Amino acid sequence: MLFKSTKPYPNIKKLMLGFSSVPDFSHNMSTSPLPRSIYTNPAAASYSSSPSTALTSNAVFDFHTSLPTYAGPSSLIPLPKIASSLHVKNLFLKDESHRFGDLPSFKPLGLSWGIRNGIIAELSEETETPISPDISLPELASQAKAAQMKLIAASDGKLGQAVARLGKSFGVEGINTRIFIPGDADEIVKEKVRMEGAEAIVVQGGMEEAVREAWLHSVAVDGVLVDVEEDENYEDIPRWIVEGYSTIFKELDVQLGGKGPDWIVVPVGIGGLAQAAVTHYKAPRLWGRLTRVLTVEPETAASLHTSLKRGELSTVKTGETIMQGMNYGMVAKAAWPILKEGVDASVAADDAEVKAAMEKLKGEGVDVGPCGGALLAALEDVLKDEELRKELGMGEDVTVVLVSTESS
């Protein structure tokens, strides 16, 4: 987190945002069960997004391609048999599950861009001299190392390991990266953080306590707090993380010959990836083709679906699902306005149809986890309704891309 304070907690001041107290990370939104259905928004076809300068200038994409860990675009896998059975011209799966090896799928794309900008902002504040946004990675790492920059995060999964590994690319090494881990987390979570050379700090209690302790520590040491979820007092780094996901879609444009697909299907979770998809594909395009966005969530954790139907941001009580990567009861507040206006269709999928979709993909030699299977299940739900198919313009000449974020 980006702070400046002469004392360990009072009079906290965040860069560009003032703090009056420790954020409680709570969301006062309505809650109700979800009846299963397909939601459509015809007005989304005319929605126009407003990408940041970093996106329109290709700064994010250029940064990622300069990283030593960048090995080229993730695979775009054609699925001709399934396309034929669904009566669409082309169906592809963009496989994000192996982009960073053992790190969590696409997320390091966002984390790396968020960490970069967080360090630039913190160094600029400390030195009172703005650092050029065009600074090279080696120069930024050199300055961060000299300043003994600290990276702080809370994690009960792979995020901590990802922050620790990425930090080394930015000159933040060893115990200068500190990951706060809830006491009930699996031992492997702590081990992987330590294997990266970072400090694993075990917190008594659950994830809420770990987040709070990480927040307080980042204030005390003037460190950069890295978290994907925003709060009213913590917005910059989550926004930069979402910007980082745009590289997926920049790559896809090139892979499809310089034009977008007719439809793109994305998982939701807390909404960052879906937000990035809407922002990218609903921006003005030279090619003139309209790309529509179909989102999918578990039937038992369909916060976006519920919110779209109600017309207001809502939380839902989550239940059991095999789609653990999307098992969230709320969509990020920052994502909601964009998703509300820009999502063309939303599906809540159940476990049974997701399992069946995974088997179909396996039959084409594609190994995906439940969140990947959900993409095909959602597409099938829409396409089996002829009237809906016609309404959405999903004729036999369309190209559809599934953005899969996990393997089995």
Per residue in 195-239, pLDDT tens? Answer: 999 999 999 999 999 999 999 999 999 999 999 887 777 889 999
Higher pLDDT, 33 or 151: 151
DSSP letter, residue 289: P
Query: pLDDT above 90 covers what percent of the chain?
Result: 75
Paired sense of beta strands 224-225 and 199-203, if any: unpaired
pLDDT digits over 81-130, tens only?
999 999 999 999 999 988 887 776 789 999 999 999 999 999 998 887 78
Prediction pTM value: 0.88
pLDDT digits over 325-372, tens only?
999 999 999 999 999 999 999 999 999 999 999 999 999 999 999 999
Q: Is the pLDDT of residue 287 over 80?
A: no
Mean pLDDT of the chain: 88
Domains with residue ranges and CATH for the chain? 38-104+245-404 (3.40.50.1100), 107-242 (3.40.50.1100)
Paired sense of beta strands 263-267 and 17-18, if any: unpaired
pLDDT digits over 294-304, tens only?
999 999 999 99
The partner residues of 347 in beta bridges, in order of sequence, read 38, 296
Higher pLDDT, 347 or 15: 347
Higher pLDDT, 26 or 140: 140
Task: Please report, for residues 69, 303, 335, 337, the alpha-carbon distance to residue 312 in angstroms, rounded to integers and kept in the order given.
Answer: 40, 10, 12, 9
Rounded Cα distance, 384 and 340, in Å:
25
| Confidence tier at 11 by pLDDT (50, 70, 90) | very low
pLDDT recorded at residue 286: 58
122 token code pair:
């913190």
| 400 touches 296 (CB < 8 A) | no
Rounded Cα distance, 280 and 51, in Å:
7
Q: CA geometry: angle at 150 spanning 175 and 191, to 5°?
A: 35
Within its chain, how far is the Cα of 6 from the centroid?
A: 34
pLDDT digits over 152-199, tens only?
999 998 899 999 999 999 999 888 999 999 999 999 999 999 999 999
